[in-house]
Structure 1
């Protein structure tokens, strides 16, 4: 699907381009088989060609991600396990898998939603599981929104930094999509912990 949409996106300018990115990210969020990290990387690359600007792209992408995740969370919140009878969602996740994800959410609590944003392949299921546990909506928007505020600048400005090599990055993402984003967040957390420890040592 993405291969068919991509040439069309590259032919757009301004508002229509942003609108299409929003739609793509929204449908990624509700579980359709499109990798949103690849969408974001590709859209970021188009800022190098003047199709979109970085800051408006990040704003539109943030709302697209949160709306898609929020709708899936809402379905879980409203319908619980009955959501498995809802057409494609029933094919997306089995009852046993939903129960496993619910156990994960119970174990780590609402802050785990922050980590979920950086976990390709299981985001949709985990947001659905979080909703089915009747977590407050504010937990989703706080933790998922904060994580997206970190993810988007990393991807957009990361692509702009590597410039002409973005296609190599995109190819690596497609090949190792389940590893790269988690590796990035682990690296960021490691840097934060090292800086925090150094700051404490200086205070002592």
Structure 2
């Protein structure tokens, strides 16, 4: 928990102290490009601390959200740590338990992964089929008879 809060607090303070100048750093530029930064800024202005809370549950978006929270000036460091800490009280034990459980049940984990892959592939195939039918229907409708 301490490591989670230290890491998140560091990202927040990086945004607070260096602001948008930090976006010029090569490490940050690859993760937080200007389009993503603007998108997160809009969401943060609209929903405030709720973005911080739900950001804890969004791998890949967590760092841009916490950095933007720091640059926005709309949330104090104390409120950020409280909000993030409350969300971490939910997420960290879940991930620790899942890691512990599946470390001892690797075959079951692989079964879930294979099932999940199958479901994803079926959904992608259905989506492609749906898009294909839609574009075929649209082309047929637009072409002169």
TM-score range, shorter chain: 0.5 to 0.7
Larger radius of gyration: 2
Secondary structure of the equivalent of 1:111?
A: helix
| 1:151 CA displacement | 1.3
Query: Which residue does 1:165 correspond to in 2?
Result: 105
Query: Which residue does 2:47 correspond to in 1?
Result: 108
Task: Name the CA distance, whole Å, in 2 between partners of 1:123 and 1:93.
Answer: 11
Over residues 119-154 of structure 1, what are the superposed CA-to-partner deviations in whole Å (9 max), with x where a residue is unaligned? 111111111111110121012211111111111222
TM-score by length of 1: 0.49
The answer (yes or no) to whether the contact 2:51–2:65 under 8 Å persists in 1 is no
**Structure 2: tracts of 5 or more residues without a match:** 118-145
Query: Which residue does 2:142 correspond to in 1?
Result: none
After TM superposition, which residue ranges in structure 1, 4 or more long, deviate above 2 angstroms? 155-164, 166-172
Query: Which residue does 2:76 correspond to in 1?
Result: 136
Query: Which residue does 1:86 correspond to in 2?
Result: 25
Query: Which residue does 1:154 correspond to in 2?
Result: 94
* Structure with a larger share of its residues in helix: 2
TM-score by length of 2: 0.67
| 1:164 CA displacement | 2.3
Instruction: Let me know the Cα RMSD of the aligned residues.
Output: 2.4
| 1:80 CA displacement | 1.5
Higher relative contact order (CA 8 A, sep 6+): 2
Task: Name the CA distance, whole Å, in 2 between partners of 1:163 and 1:112.
Answer: 32
| 1:156 CA displacement | 2.3
Secondary structure of the equivalent of 1:121?
A: coil
Q: Matched residue pairs, number? A: 113
